[in-house]
């Protein structure tokens, strides 16, 4: 049995979980999320907790048991508290500008500005003094994907550390050329 999959997911007071037609719907104060259920995985709401079980012992079903439990736990915490990722923009003249809560214009040393449009359900905010971007939303996968796409526009340089990096990322800088 999966160590993660066998743990029940506690449901907070403000959250409603329903299972119908192979889809689990999680509604909370911040919004609603849906997750389809693969074949061989059963989800039941028992009192104030969600229990994930599997029908068989095939390796493909066993692999999905813990995954589905983790995705549902992330959905429950997402609709109650939400998720947040922070990015730091490091470099002289590197900056960002918000056109709307979902449209970002980045100036990162290229000959042109890069425009990024975030998907529905993800909000971006920018603190110009700290040169820090904050990405927030209820879907953990979407928030992480948006952060990764923005970081990928200009990843940190290995010699000077210039670029877009996660705020909790620790860079190990290489030594430059040594003069003779």
The predicted structure's pLDDT at residue 180? 66
The secondary structure of 75-114 as a DSSP string is HHHHHHT-EEEEEEEESTT-EEEEEETTEEEEESSSSS-E
pLDDT tens sequence across 106-160: 999 999 999 999 999 999 999 999 999 999 999 999 999 999 999 999 999 999 9
- The pLDDT of 65-90, averaged and rounded, is 95
The predicted structure's pLDDT at residue 1? 61
| Distance in angstroms (rounded) separating the CA atoms of residues 154 and 40 | 42
The predicted structure's pLDDT at residue 101? 79
Note whether 58 and 40 are within 8 A (CB): yes
The SS3 assignment for 159 reads coil
| pTM confidence score | 0.89
Neighbouring CB atoms inside 10 A of 12's CB total 13
Q: List the structure tokens of 122.
A: 């993800």
| Distance in angstroms (rounded) separating the CA atoms of residues 147 and 152 | 9
């Amino acid at each position: 049995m999966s160590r993660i999959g066998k743990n029940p997911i506690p449901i907070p007071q403000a959250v409603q979980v329903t299972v119908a037609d192979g889809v689990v719907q999680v509604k909370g104060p911040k919004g609603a999320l849906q997750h389809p259920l693969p074949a061989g995985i059963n989800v039941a709401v028992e009192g104030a907790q969600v229990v994930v079980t599997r029908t068989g012992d095939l390796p493909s079903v066993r692999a999905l048991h813990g995954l589905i439990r983790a995705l549902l736990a992330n959905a429950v915490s997402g609709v109650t508290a939400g998720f947040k990722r922070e990015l730091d923009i490091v470099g002289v003249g590197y900056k960002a500008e918000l056109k709307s809560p979902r449209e970002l214009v980045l100036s990162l040393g290229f000959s042109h500005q890069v425009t990024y449009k975030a998907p529905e359900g993800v909000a971006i905010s920018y603190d110009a003094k700290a040169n820090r971007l904050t990405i927030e939303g209820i879907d953990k996968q979407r928030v992480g994907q948006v952060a990764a796409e923005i970081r990928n526009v200009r990843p940190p340089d290995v010699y000077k550390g210039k670029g877009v990096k996660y705020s909790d990322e620790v860079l190990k800088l290489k030594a430059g050329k040594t003069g003779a």
